[in-house]
Amino acid sequence: MPVSDTPAGRPALDQGRLADVAGWQVEVVPETPSTNALVSDCARAGTAEGLVITTEHQTAGRGRLDRGWTMPPRAALAVSVLLRPDVPAERWPWLPLMTGVAVVGAVRELGYDAGLKWPNDVLAHGRKLCGILVERVEAPADSSTGDGAAAVVGIGLNTSLTAEELPVPTATSLALEGGAPVDRTEVLVTLLRHLSASYAAWRERPDELAATYVELSVTLGQRVRAELPGGGALVGAATGIDRYGRLEVLPDRADDTVAVGAGDVVHLRPAPTTDTGMQ
Ligand code: BTN
């Protein structure tokens, strides 16, 4: 559907209000296949940290684990942020979790209920409100910018999707949660402010950010079933998050936890009490 055909009640983003948000340089493009792809190109070209690209209509969004991410025009926020963290690469797996903390903080400030399903799905009443995809972009070998690797932080937040427009029945949107029209510009401004705060905490006070993540988590303390590539599954209590952002699971009748990374888990589901141990 062309952007001009969008339903009433879905105004364009207000670029004036996005001009100076917490030091971010925000660009709005009318339509693009993927904001992550656009920002990745900018990262490879040497663009500085702080670029934010959002769009009125993302037509071929990228999701985690090579899944897609779809959204009708102006019914959601598709946002990608260019970061160049001066933090050791071993800590970068925390970036998606850091972003999740920012999104939940923003959504809660706006008056909605939300929590974090490990690693970074933002849920409202058990339904997915927002997905996050962080991609690492290496500096080209012949780079003259000297900027090193970049992180492209992609956020897809369902703002005004109706029940009929949801990509899957287990998703939700702010409008469905709150029952009122949603101002996407206000949501984006709030989100970028929280991203600034979470990003600073991650770089300078990682233990504080980790404690906030634990507070917002709806996974920790639950019995979970982590489905692994190849068909196996790890079942047990989700007990913690390690310094690499991995979920620590204590399998039933085991003494030691097992840590699984986000890339190792195809699905994470609540585990029925009859499941036991490694399978
Ligand atoms: C997920 O699968 O849960 C992550 C979805 C991430 C979607 C966002 S929308 C903005 C950015 N651009 C993309 O192509 N993907 C991310």
**Integer Cα distance of 198 and 119 in angstroms:** 16
At 123, which amino acid appears?
L
Using a 6 Å cutoff on CB, does residue 62 contact ligand 1?
A: yes
C-alpha to C-alpha distances, 241 to 111, 137, 173, 262, nearest whole angstrom: 27, 25, 27, 11
Using a 6 Å cutoff on CB, does residue 132 contact ligand 1?
A: yes
Instruction: Phi first, then psi: give them for residue 114, nearest 5 degrees.
Output: -160, 155
Q: What tens digit of pLDDT does each residue of 217-273 get?
A: 999 999 999 999 888 999 999 999 999 999 999 998 899 999 999 988 999 999 987
Q: Whose CA is nearest to atom 10 of ligand 1?
A: 78
Share of the chain above pLDDT 90, in %: 84
**Checking DSSP bridges between strand 76-83 and strand 115-117, what pairing results, if any?**
unpaired
Neighbours of 256 (CB within 10 A): 7
What is the CA(59)–ligand 1 centre distance, in A?
A: 11
**Residue 139 has what pLDDT?**
79
Q: What tens digit of pLDDT does each residue of 142-180 get?
A: 655 555 899 999 999 999 999 999 999 999 999 999 978
pLDDT score of 4 more than 60: no
Architecture of domain 223-268: Roll (2.30)
**Residue 274 has what pLDDT?**
58
- CB-based contact 68:60 (threshold 8 Å): yes
Neighbours of 117 (CB within 10 A): 19
What is the CA(255)–ligand 1 centre distance, in A?
A: 37
Residues of the chain with CATH 2.30.30.100: 223-268
Between vectors from CA 128 to CA 61 and to CA 13, what angle results, nearest 5°? Answer: 55
Using a 6 Å cutoff on CB, does residue 158 contact ligand 1?
A: no
**Residue 245 has what pLDDT?**
96
Q: Whose CA is nearest to atom 7 of ligand 1?
A: 156
Q: Whose CA is nearest to atom 16 of ligand 1?
A: 154
Using a 6 Å cutoff on CB, does residue 128 contact ligand 1?
A: no
> Does domain 15-213 bear CATH number 3.30.930.10?
yes
Helices (H) and strands (E) in the chain, counts: 5, 14
Q: Mean per-residue pLDDT for 14-29? A: 96
Higher pLDDT, 58 or 65: 58
Share of the chain above pLDDT 70, in %: 92
